[in-house]
Amino acid sequence: MVTVYSTTWCGYCDRLKKQLDRENISYTEVDIEQDADAAELVKKVNNGNQVVPTVVFADGTAMTNPGVLQVKKHLAGNA
């Protein structure tokens, strides 16, 4: 499972979501501007900064502003 923390206005978020869709990688999207708990999680992962996209994997690890190849590599267990 992949969770993409994003905002509606983030171009990097849109790009990553389109790439994930193209690669048929399922994800759940969470808008940090609509979910205060999600915003806090993103800040915790990013040393106090609300950086999006932040991707959190089922194993609890996170990546900040990754490319689709990084996501695929992590999901394949080669992170």
Q: What is the pLDDT of residue 34?
A: 97
Per residue in 11-58, pLDDT tens? 999 999 999 999 999 999 999 999 999 999 999 999 999 999 999 999
pLDDT, position 1: 86
CA–CA distance, 46 with 51 (Å, rounded to integer) = 7
Q: Would you give the DSSP letter of residue 65?
A: S
Cα(70)–Cα(65) distance, rounded to whole angstroms? 10
- Residue spans of the domains in the chain: they are 2-75
Is the predicted pLDDT of residue 67 greater than 70, yes or no?
yes
DSSP lists the bridge partners of residue 64 as 54
Superfamily of domain 2-75: Glutaredoxin (3.40.30.10)
Q: What tokens does 36 get?
A: 């205060």
- Residue 78: pLDDT band (50, 70, 90) is low
Angle formed by the axes of helices 11-22 and 68-75, to 10°? 50
Task: Check pLDDT > 60 for residue 79.
Answer: no
Amino acid found at 46: N
